[in-house]
Amino acid sequence: MKKRVFSGTRATGRLHLGNYLGAVKGYIALQNNPEYECVYMAVDVHTITTPFDHQTLRGATREIIVDYLAAGLDSEKAIITKQSLVPEHTELAFIFSSVLSIARMQHLPTFKDKVRQHPDNVTLALLNYPALMAADILVYKAEKVPCGIDQEPHLEITREVARKMNELYGTDFPQVTRFVTESASVPSLLGEGKMSKSVEGSSIGLTDDLATIKKRLAGAPTDSGKGEKVPTEGGVANLLKFVELFEGVHRRKEYEAQYVGSGIRYGDLKQELAEAIDKELMPIREKRKELEGNPEYVDRVIKEGAEKARVIAGATVKEVKEKMGLG
């Protein structure tokens, strides 16, 4: 039997370069490997764990799927759909919440971050976020998850849930591992933290055009361009990371030599980097335009993906319920 892969993206806005480099490139690498059966979703049920707009959620979820397809996910090679069409995820999440303690959930750094961001919306759904994520993965008995390093605490919970369920009820859930891409943590353009949808000015969108990419890079903080030591954190360090990701390590080394020598002209660096990013994103933008003209195709991918996913997910939930004396 093929090994399974699961990953997902919350429907909180269009994909950015962090999602693309940290996760979606990994999705594509695994879908193209015939050893794996891959399931990729826009995880819209996770989106309701923080404040959201019910009038735009359906559209935002669809945008994630269109971005997935534009970036190169292929419904012939992977199951692509949205989480809310596969109710087995939420059913298994409730079951998993019976083996997770409230204290363990409250101590997760991801939970604490969200409490800081939305102090008036600390709901049971938010506390249960990791149980739902464990269910997303284990309902397919997936062994590999292509995702950024920020998801590691949730994968640890997933491994704990698998062990507990196997011990208590004799299930055979695997121990999941993260599939690492070339960049597990894409930095923010602002010089601090990671690129994120929720931090204004921190990101470049997957389908931004050259003018927008330039504008975004223009906002990235720099320094005088020369010094005794190349900075290892902050705006300049992050720009050099982007140079490495889009123009290669050799170009980065050249800039580093300039920094400790004649000096970097950031205007030129940003111009060249913008063009390199634009070149990589151009085919994605073109594919996206094509998809926008073919909404029936996108609908079909989502519907057929959900049907295929439910066959696998339904079998797991049935097995778990039988072993637990339910149903």
Binding residues vs ligand TYM (CB under 6 A): 6-10, 18-19, 22-23, 43, 46, 133, 136-137, 145, 147-148, 150-151, 154, 184-186, 194-196
Instruction: Identify which of residues 6 and 266 has a Cβ nearer to ligand TYM in the complex.
Output: 6
Q: Is the dihedral of CA 5, 10, 11, 13 positive or negative?
A: negative
Token output for 159: 């491994």
Find the shortest distance in angstroms from Cβ 194 to ligand TYM: 4
Helix (H) and strand (E) counts in the chain: 15, 5
- How far apart are CB 145 and ligand TYM at their closest, in Å? 5
- Closest-by-Cβ residue to ligand TYM is 22
Q: Give the Cβ contact number of residue 123 at 10 Å.
A: 13
Q: Give the nearer residue to ligand TYM in terms of CB position, either 133 or 284.
A: 133
- Smallest separation (angstroms) from ligand TYM to the CB of 226: 28
Cβ nearer to ligand TYM, comparing 129 with 259: 129
Residue (82 or 194) nearer to ligand TYM, CB: 194
Beta bridge partners of 5: 38, 144
- We find the least distance from the C-beta atom of residue 131 to ligand TYM, in angstroms, to be 11
Burial 169-192 (b: 16+ CB within 10 A, else e): bebebbebebbebebbebbbbbbe
Compute the least distance from the CB of residue 112 to ligand TYM, in Å: 15
Residue number, 264 or 305, with CB nearest to ligand TYM: 305
